[in-house]
Structure 1
Amino acid sequence: MKVLVVYYSMYGHVHALANAVVAGAQQVAGVDVVFRRIREFPENVEHMKKEGGYAYQVYQGQQSIPECTLDDLRAADGMVFGSPTRYGNMTAQAKALIDSTASLWLGGDMEGKPVGFFTSTASTHGGQETTLVSMMFPLLHLGMLIVGVPYSLPGMIHTEARGGTPYGASTIAGPRGELQPTAEDLAIATSLGKRVAEVTLAVRAKK
């Protein structure tokens, strides 16, 4: 049984959450975790290359992770989908992947598959929840089953400036990307990966 963890990350924060999600899914026996990144726009790669800054270093550091294809989505039994926030929504790169799934929608290939979500924002109120919820909309159109994060998980109820929402795992990157996911943020991401894997196993067992 395959659980696909697919993400887009420009500065590494969502990549860190993705690694935690992978670790959580790998805790479930019988699950084969497939790790994929979302394709960067070629013009962005050229721009980052010319600047030669931190974003390009992060991009280069992710080259060993294969890009996600429609075949990856089709073959997965469950999925966890991650993207940073752009104006309260997912990135254009992440949306481009979803917008390319018309053939999967027509064939019903994604129907009944569990899916969870994770994100990062620059600030505490930077759109974590709107991004996670808006990521759900197109995947509901594909017929997928939404898996959230219950408040029974340790670290979910807090008043600190960090991530963790019932809609998915999250973290705060800081206005200059200077922050890293807290131990609590990573633990919630790990729990999300495990939860999606467990739900996927349960759904498959009933088919």
Structure 2
Amino acid sequence: MTKVLVLYYSKRGNTQKMARLMARGVGSVEGCEAMLRTVESDLPGAEKPTEALVTEQDMKDADALIIGSPSYFGNMASPLKKFIDTTGNLWFSGDMEGKPAGVFCTASSLHGGQETTLINMMIPLLHFGMVIVGLPYSEKSLLYTQSGGSPYGATHWADFESNRSLDQNEKQLCLAQGKRIAQMAQQLKE
């Protein structure tokens, strides 16, 4: 079984919804399963996690990694970054090298730094030696989205109060990204 770790931080539930869609995309590939994990938060107003907390062993056991976060000032949220900063052993040992990886995010405004956040989340993955997998324009939702999504990864515009639901294009991009990374994980595992 090919395992894809979908690791996320979600303060208000929007990133969690995206993570669950990513997991559905992973699960749509025969022989693949998603491991949904989150991180602890010390941020004010954060919801209590409903998924299991990630461990370094989860990272080692995964054949691929997808990470997601709200966009905070064009970067990932500190709880996710805090966890990643504890994974130096994985970098040093090379346990993540050659595995496919992808990123996704949410933001409160249309121009809230989504693409910058995605690129910033790629940096530690590149340091791990992972293979970054994006979304190609053959995924038609990239051509029609009016709110979220880019070749760097799926995004969602949640609006200022985080009340905007994921639209059909945003959902489709999440499903497609999860599926694409699962397929790459299988190919690279062979």
TM range (shorter): over 0.9
1:9 corresponds in structure 2 to 10
SS at match of 1:15: helix
SS at match of 1:84: strand
Return 5+ residue gaps in structure 2 as ranges.
none
SS at match of 2:53: coil
CA deviation profile, 1:122-177 (whole Å, cap 9, x unmatched):
111110100001100111011010000111102101362x1010000000010111
Q: CA deviation at 1:86?
A: 0.4
Aligned-pair identity in percent equals: 39
CA deviation profile, 1:82-131 (whole Å, cap 9, x unmatched):
00100001111111111111111111011001001110111111101000
SS at match of 1:6: strand
Return 5+ residue gaps in structure 1 as ranges.
49-54
1:186 corresponds in structure 2 to 171
Q: In structure 1, how many angstroms separate the alpha carbons of the residues matched to 2:145 and 2:7?
A: 29
Decide which structure has the larger Cα Rg and report it.
1
**More displaced 10-residue stretch of structure 1: 150-159 or 116-125:** 150-159
CA deviation profile, 1:49-91 (whole Å, cap 9, x unmatched):
xxxxxx5xxx24x43x100111111110101110010000111
Q: Give the letter aligned to residue 83 of structure 2.
A: L
Q: In structure 2, how many angstroms separate the alpha carbons of the residues matched to 1:21 and 1:202?
A: 18
1:52 corresponds in structure 2 to none
1:68 corresponds in structure 2 to 54
SS at match of 1:184: helix
Q: Which runs of 4+ in 1 moved over 6 A?
A: none
1:18 corresponds in structure 2 to 19
Going by fraction, where is strand more abundant, 1 or 2? 2
* 1:148 maps onto 2:149 in alignment: no
Q: In structure 2, how many angstroms separate the alpha carbons of the residues matched to 1:39 and 1:33?
A: 20
Q: C-alpha root-mean-square deviation of aligned residues, in Å?
A: 1.2
Q: In structure 1, how many angstroms separate the alpha carbons of the residues matched to 2:135 and 2:145?
A: 17
Q: Give the letter aligned to residue 149 of structure 2.
A: G
